[in-house]
A and B are shown apart, each in its own frame.
Chain A
């Protein structure tokens, strides 16, 4: 279960970070002064749609698993992740449930029954919400200029390192890179050496969802 939870966290974190890359109409020329400023900017987001490409480098597979698709985020804690290739699937997270719909049908995981999983998902939501205090309870948060782009004054790197078990058993670190307030790349490193790299292609950080979309994407029944 711990592995499951960690994996989920990693994936969701990737998505969360991805949601902020290439943010339209967000100034990209200035690097936030610190992690607090960066997270505070995330907290202002009312909705998000972003396309992404992902590569999973797993020791079990001879070649990386590649996928691409779209994610949607609705505050305070709804997230949908649709993979369009190579095999369609739709993942949805609500405060109570993780739901995966794909070729093999629908799989539901009751997050209320899985303490660790829900804890990690909550952590993700806190990233979206810009809840620095909550994040710092579980992670050491390091913020610095992007070492791979020393010439870009707006480039930054945010590294989240889990502080204690069970997180440390499954996650080595979560590395987000961006420019200004936009996230460009997320790397998830596991203790086993497996890693997942996600690149955000396009993003709409001011996405508003209709009632139908809320129901279709997030499973929110119309009131």
Chain B
């Protein structure tokens, strides 16, 4: 290394150190899944589905503690809650933990609802009229008397003076089952109605998919339970579920598969370099170049977005991995056809091809920047800057860091010679490459119509059967409402949303009566809209005949009318302000209403959810809701699937546009049809063949397939460009070896993922594995077809 190069390397390393310091100081990795969910307007189903995906319900775990009997379950529940709150890993991620009704709930009920009891007499003014006819009041007085004769008379006798129509009693009874369906109470703790099991609800502040937060929290839960179980002599069981468990387990599975594949791929790549070059230096240089790109990409994303998504890091690193082609390309030329003036001149000769390869890759990624997924925009920016960083690192570092001479091994020579022989054979008998090209093209043409797309994001995850069973068992014991289909009432503000929710409740009552729906759980009974409360209250207080008629009815049943003075006074008093969500949000009643409210967008738009049970006729229910402004039946899974489908379609279009831009760039560079074809056609036919083969094999494609295809096209264009740039036989031979090494490295790095039984990794592995093999075959094939015939005298040399 000459003095100037040494200074250049030091300077470059300082720049990288600066980037590394910036990244280390600013690095904030997020696992927020909404980053990769489509965005829509506040009222769109997509936006709703997005919000629901991260709503409190999805962040809430259900923990069932089984015990010898219900009393022990309650005691264990109390001890478990103490342990959970004391564990710093749990406490750090905890938003709420409920093992029983919050303290003070009865006082809160009395304070908030008793003054407003008249507003809860009915659902509307017509309902008030029906409940306050003279015969109805007579029946109400008789009913009150019968209740007083029952053992539950104590409850009634205390409330009756101010509430002879027993409005509050009905309200309190509804509250008893408001938290969930299969829950009872034992010693102030939630227990299941079946086997002796305590129930705890644990809500996390972070989204379920934020593995860095969820992983230690889950470990904390397990340790807390183990401690409690020990205190109870090992007689307890824990059954628990939550989206976070699935997310963390999925990540562990993926990490394990990637680790396994990585070990094999690193061993394979190192072996490849050792066998061909008897040196690990190419591997080290590849790490330096790709690492430089990774650092620049990370720094740019942190500077632009303030944080970076874990998925961006993972897939972005994979996409930047394309840039290993640059190192391999340079190294093979340096080994087989070095410039007599040294490595810098070798690189200079290759630079136009490298720059064009990088430019075509960046152009391909640019198409993603207009995506509506913030995550994919970030991914595109990450990959584009990563490629540019790797390209400049190639220029900056490689010439200075390679040995003056790096001859290949005998095997390296033999492989280069073999590839050259194959090329010459194809050039002699062009029918062979033509047939190969035609075959792959035909494969694409036949398979393309058979391609199926799977846009269900859930299918990209392989759910652990044991967790699925545990989840089903826990939910069957506690929550019997559908997880994916629900009703949302949306309003421009809270009042409007709750007004729509009033109408939803009435429509669903009708649906239940019509047999279209088994049941539903909403917030309407506890929190009707302010408008409904005002209407009902006004109807009650506005009837001057109500008290005289009530008085007569009570007297007729033998009541001491004077005892009901509190009711008469309430009728004469001004109406209190209606009960609103804000009145409940800071009270012990908040857990009963909070899961039903969604804030949509920044403009104050509010959604109120209603959860459905046994939805038998979804179209019929949807038709009922169609008549209510702002209300709709939302199928979260189907909505996201549709959104992904639409996005995938748009992404496909953008990628095709990107391909045209790549073609234009290549054509502009060469201004020559043959070389343009040599550069671009392998990638295009390779991608077509990949899609066709997967179609014929009935392997459905998905979003990850598209990302993998993007990588394939980038690599394929690199291969084509490198070959098109090769001006003489020596460079062609070197380039062929480079392509082979790069292709094999990619197969080892990504293709081996096809061995994973995780759907996401399998998808990436099959697509990239098949695609790279096609590009590997097609680059020299197309080159042989378009290259002018080689004179026979050269063949024997």
Contacts and interface: CB of A to CB of B under 8 A. Distances in A.
Contact of B151 (A91, A110, A112, A192): A91
Contacts of A96: 193
Contacts of B106: 1-2
Contacts of A61: 145, 148, 558-560
A60 B559 contact: yes
Contacts of A28: none
A59 B156 CA distance: 12
A25 interface: no
B558 A8 contact: no
Given A1-B172, A60-B148, A65-B148, A112 B193 contact: yes
A91 B185 contact: no
A123 interface: no
Contacts of A119: 187
Given A59-B560, A60-B563, A115 B188 contact: yes
Interface stretch (B176-184, B261-269, B278-286, B312-320): B176-184
Given A113-B184, A115-B186, A192-B158, A65 B193 contact: no
A89 B52 CA distance: 48
Contact of A104 (B146, B158, B558): B146
A190 B154 contact: yes
A3 B155 contact: yes
Contacts of A3: 154-159
13 contacts: A3-B158, A6-B154, A10-B154, A61-B145, A61-B560, A62-B559, A89-B146, A89-B150, A91-B150, A113-B183, A115-B186, A118-B185, A194-B154
Contacts of B146: 87, 89, 102-104
Interface string B246-284: 000000000000000000000000000000000000000
Contacts of B151: 7-8, 10-12, 81, 91, 98
A100 interface: yes
B284 to A, nearest CB: 68
Contacts of A100: 150, 152
Given A1-B172, A60-B160, A62-B559, 13 more contacts: A3-B159, A7-B151, A11-B151, A60-B559, A91-B151, A96-B193, A102-B150, A110-B176, A112-B184, A112-B193, A115-B184, A118-B186, A192-B158
Contacts of B152: 4, 7-8, 11, 100, 109
Nearest to A13: B151
B183 A60 contact: no
B462 interface: no
A11 B158 CA distance: 16
A58 B563 CA distance: 11
Contacts of B176: 1, 110, 113-114
A1 B155 contact: yes
A7 B149 CA distance: 11
* Chain B: interface size category: 20 to 34
Nearest to B561: A62
Contacts of A83: 149
A59 B563 contact: yes
Contact of A4 (B154, B183, B186, B187): B154
Nearest to B153: A7
Contacts of B564: 60
Interface in A129-168: none
Contacts of A63: 558
A112 B176 CA distance: 10
Tell me which of A2, A11, A58 has the highest count of chain B C-beta atoms within 10 A of its own C-beta.
Answer: A58
Contact of A7 (B155, B161, B186, B193): B155
Interface in B173-224: 176-177, 183-188, 191, 193
A104 B154 contact: no
A58 B151 CA distance: 13
Tell me which of A3, A109, A110 has the highest count of chain B C-beta atoms within 10 A of its own C-beta.
Answer: A3
B154 A60 contact: no
A94 interface: no
B143 interface: yes
Interface of B: 106, 143, 145-146, 148-161, 172, 176-177, 183-188, 191, 193, 558-560, 563-564
Nearest to B143: A104
B148 A56 contact: yes
Given A61-B558, A110-B193, A170 B154 contact: yes
Contacts of B148: 56, 58, 60-61, 65
Tell me which of B106, B157, B564 has the highest count of chain A C-beta atoms within 10 A of its own C-beta.
Answer: B157
Contacts of B191: 112
Given A60-B563, A113-B176, A114-B176, A192 B157 contact: yes
Tell me which of A7, A12, A63 has the highest count of chain B C-beta atoms within 10 A of its own C-beta.
Answer: A7
A118 B184 CA distance: 10
B197 to A, nearest CB: 12
B98 to A, nearest CB: 14
A216 B441 CA distance: 80
B561 to A, nearest CB: 9
B185 A60 contact: no
B185 A113 contact: yes
Interface string A33-75: 0000000000000000000000010111111010100000000
Nearest to B555: A62
Nearest to B101: A115
A110 B172 CA distance: 13
Contact of A113 (B155, B177, B187): B177
Contacts of B187: 115, 119
A3 B159 CA distance: 9
Given A60-B161, A110-B184, A115-B187, A67 B149 contact: yes
B184 A60 contact: no
B154 A62 contact: no
Contacts of A5: 155
Q: Which 7 A-B pairs rank lowest in CB-CB distance, beginning with the nearest?
A: A7-B154, A112-B184, A11-B151, A4-B155, A115-B185, A3-B155, A3-B158
Contacts of B172: 1
A197 to B, nearest CB: 14
Contact of B157 (A12, A58, A62, A109): A58
B157 A194 contact: yes
Nearest to A8: B151
A8 B154 contact: yes
B150 A87 contact: no
B107 to A, nearest CB: 11
B114 to A, nearest CB: 13
A102 B154 CA distance: 18
B153 A56 contact: yes
Nearest to B173: A109
Nearest to A11: B151
B567 to A, nearest CB: 12
A93 B371 CA distance: 64
A30 to B, nearest CB: 33
B727 to A, nearest CB: 85
